Amino acid sequence: MASEALRIRDLVSGYRGLPALHGISLEVSAGEMVALVGANGAGKSTLLRSIAGLSRPVAGSIELEGRRIDAMAAHRIARLGIAYVPEGRRLFARLSVIDNLLLGAWVRGETDPAEVFSLFPVLRDRARQIAGTLSGGEQQMLAIGRALMSKPRLLLLDEPSLGIAPRLVARIYQTLKEINQRGLTVLLVEQNVRAALQIASRAYVLQTGRIVSHGLSAELLGTDLVRKAFLGI
């Protein structure tokens, strides 16, 4: 059995004292890709921010490979091997593509972007281009590439398909599949439920800050909850 990369128990977390998560528990095994799906306001982004140390839990625990991290500062969590790609990408828009990648390397001191360029060749072609002038899909590739420069053990992705042309979404998802097949553990947040369940091995369904269903992605695609609430079937 694969070891647990991430273990969350009874997590309560939110913003400014208002909880958005109510007793969340989940596990992600090493080398696994797991999806978190649900509507806007379900608490998906809060969960990722809590794991990354950007939102402070008020109860419960978060463990990375058996080590408690829920009381750690965000920069310490990053050094332990968690990379977070936020919704909206949050690039340094006035800096070049290569400068954005190098800024992502500060945790590990990695300065060679060759692996990122092999995954996203367009970034090599645009290495000296200002990041803010890239298309939405190219910016998302850059945001993922910047996270990969830290050589993470766990990659957190928040809405990677948001506002991106379908053609580039397919390219990004194919690359995420390749990254995962190389052994990187991935926790993926998506409103595009069908796309997320097609790429992830397992998934958790969140509604109003609570997990209401979980299981193998292929099985969840056939449930009434997912088909009616998220796929409109």
State the burial class of residue 109 (Cβ atoms within 10 Å of its Cβ: 0-12, 13-18, 19+).
exposed
> pLDDT tens digits, residue range 137-186?
899 999 999 999 999 999 999 998 888 888 888 888 999 999 999 999 99
The confidence score (pLDDT) of residue 16 equals 72
Both tokens assigned to 25:
């528990």
Residue spans per domain, the chain? 4-229
Q: What span, in angstroms and rounded, lies between the C-alpha atoms of 204 and 59?
A: 20
Residues of the chain with pLDDT under 70: 1-2, 17, 109-110, 228-233
CA distances from 65 to 11, 29, 84, 104, 154 (A): 17, 9, 17, 23, 10
Residues 6+ apart with CB under 8 A from 109: none
Contact 51, 82 (CB under 8 A): yes
Torsion-angle region of residue 152: left (phi > 0), alpha (psi -120 to 50) or beta? beta
The confidence score (pLDDT) of residue 231 equals 60
Both tokens assigned to 14:
């939110």
Query: 4-229 architecture in CATH?
Result: 3-Layer(aba) Sandwich (3.40)
Q: CA-based diameter of the chain, in Å?
A: 49
